[in-house]
């Protein structure tokens, strides 16, 4: 690709009936199929230069078929099969052409840099030294192929729900008593931020845990994010996404499951708890999303401290939020044209995470798993899929839905399922237990973690996994 006017394209090769489909990157990808629902799916490495290549192999997974499962990539992970046709759930792999990566490096090298900020902190935005250090590493030492290998080592699939192609990672635990869990990322995140929690959650015995705490894990990419399709109609806010996730879990054959989310994922998980889809027995979040738009008590020292943090965020850290909630298309032009602009926009989220990421690039001192490579895995995913604008639109959708509800004097139903909540010290605000109980009267688990921030699963995957084990233990 050369020049900003040419749109990145995505070629998809599928061995399901040997169909070949080409579509705009980030748009819906619909593939035909020729295998039956009980044909085992093997995600195999294929050659060629198409960004996404899919292959299936029918094999004699007799035991898995007897138990009602579909086999996957030979790592002992299997997936329940209740689909009625091959068109319901399709295997998925990522393989980006080298020319796309070369173009990315060229664009980063050609960045037109602004003058240095006039302050010694982030109060004017992402600091020049931070972004230049990120850009330098991005074009010299960073290896996207390593990220591809991490993704493709896990079973990935797509399925169409309500007109949008949904990408998801589905890892079934080797432990028979595993509890199904659907976990939703946020912005500026993707499934990349959750990958290091896969092992501790699905195979706890290999990560200082008990087999009784295992989960079958479903990690969907939000509509308009990553490898999911971009919605072409209005209405894809948290409520509609929550309904889609209920359908996804039904489609995967899970009659009983729990849900977790942070950031936008917390809003989606909250909506699931209020909708109460069949099979959902509990939720956990690590951001008290309703507190950002509601009056909260300020009677205790903890409550007043949390309120001060919320007010600080609204006064000094709300820029990205306001822009995406009101004019996502405007900022989208920069996000799809300039990798440096995309990186800066994604780094300018919250103070704690920003300084941790800055230290990783400028000083070589990562915080937990917030390493240079992991941060760039996430940013590069946004760039290669061209989803900067479509992801931002979710904030607009959420804002529009809230405005309509307020105008109609509508209040959401209460959450009826048990709720778990963990406060991490570096979060935008540290929600006290009294606030969580105010929002969720069905609270059954609350804990204040000793470390970690807004991207808890990313930064501290082991600690995060331990919190989910504890939160859902009573529901097994």
Catalytically annotated residues? 263, 395, 454
Nearest to 155 by CA among 185, 191, 128, 107: 191
* Nearest-angstrom CA–CA distance, 435 and 419: 13
């Amino acid at each position: 690709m050369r020049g900003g006017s040419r749109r990145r394209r995505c070629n998809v090769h599928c061995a399901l009936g040997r169909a070949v489909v080409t579509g705009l990157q980030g748009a819906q990808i619909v593939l035909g199929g020729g295998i039956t629902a009980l044909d085992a799916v093997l995600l195999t490495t294929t050659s060629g230069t198409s960004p996404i290549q899919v292959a299936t192999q029918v094999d004699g997974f007799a035991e898995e078929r007897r138990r009602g499962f579909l086999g996957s990539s030979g790592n002992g992970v299997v997936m329940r099969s209740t689909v009625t046709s091959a068109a319901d759930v399709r295997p998925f792999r990522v393989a980006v052409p080298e020319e796309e990566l070369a173009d990315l490096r060229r664009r980063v090298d050609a960045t037109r840099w602004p003058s240095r900020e006039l302050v010694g902190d982030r109060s004017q935005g992402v600091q020049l030294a931070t972004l230049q250090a990120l850009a330098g590493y991005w074009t010299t030492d960073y290896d996207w192929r390593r990220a591809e290998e991490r993704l493709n080592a896990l079973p990935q699939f797509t399925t169409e729900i309500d007109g949008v192609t949904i990408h998801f990672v589905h890892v079934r635990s080797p432990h028979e008593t595993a509890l199904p869990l659907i976990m939703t990322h946020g912005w500026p995140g993707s499934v990349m931020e959750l990958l290091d929690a896969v092992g501790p959650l699905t195979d706890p015995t290999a990560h200082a845990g008990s087999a009784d705490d295992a989960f079958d894990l479903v990690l969907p990419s939000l509509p308009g994010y990553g490898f999911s399709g971009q919605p072409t109609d209005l209405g894809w806010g948290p409520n509609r996404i929550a309904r889609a996730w209920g359908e996804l879990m039904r489609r995967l054959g899970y009659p009983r499951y729990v849900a977790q989310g942070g950031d936008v994922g917390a809003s989606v998980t909250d909506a699931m708890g209020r909708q109460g889809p069949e099979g959902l027995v509990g939720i956990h979040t690590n951001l008290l999303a309703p507190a950002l738009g509601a009056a909260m008590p300020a009677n205790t020292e903890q409550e007043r401290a949390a309120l001060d943090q919320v007010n600080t965020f609204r006064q000094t850290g709300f820029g990205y939020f306001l822009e995406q909630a009101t004019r996502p298309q405007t900022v989208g032009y920069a996000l799809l044209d300039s990798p440096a602009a995309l990186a800066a926009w994604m780094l300018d989220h919250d103070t704690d995470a920003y300084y941790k990421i800055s230290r990783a690039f400028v000083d070589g001192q990562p915080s937990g798993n917030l390493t240079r490579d992991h941060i760039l895995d996430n940013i590069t995913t946004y760039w290669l899929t061209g989803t900067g604008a479509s992801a931002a639109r979710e904030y607009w959708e959420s804002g529009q839905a809230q405005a309509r509800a307020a105008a109609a004097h509508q209040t959401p139903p209460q959450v009826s399922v048990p709720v778990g909540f963990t406060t991490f010290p570096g979060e935008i605000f540290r929600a006290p237990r009294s606030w969580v109980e105010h929002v969720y009267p069905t609270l059954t688990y609350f804990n204040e973690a000793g470390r970690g921030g807004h991207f808890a699963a990313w930064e501290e995957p082991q600690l995060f996994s331990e919190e989910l084990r504890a939160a859902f233990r009573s529901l097994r």
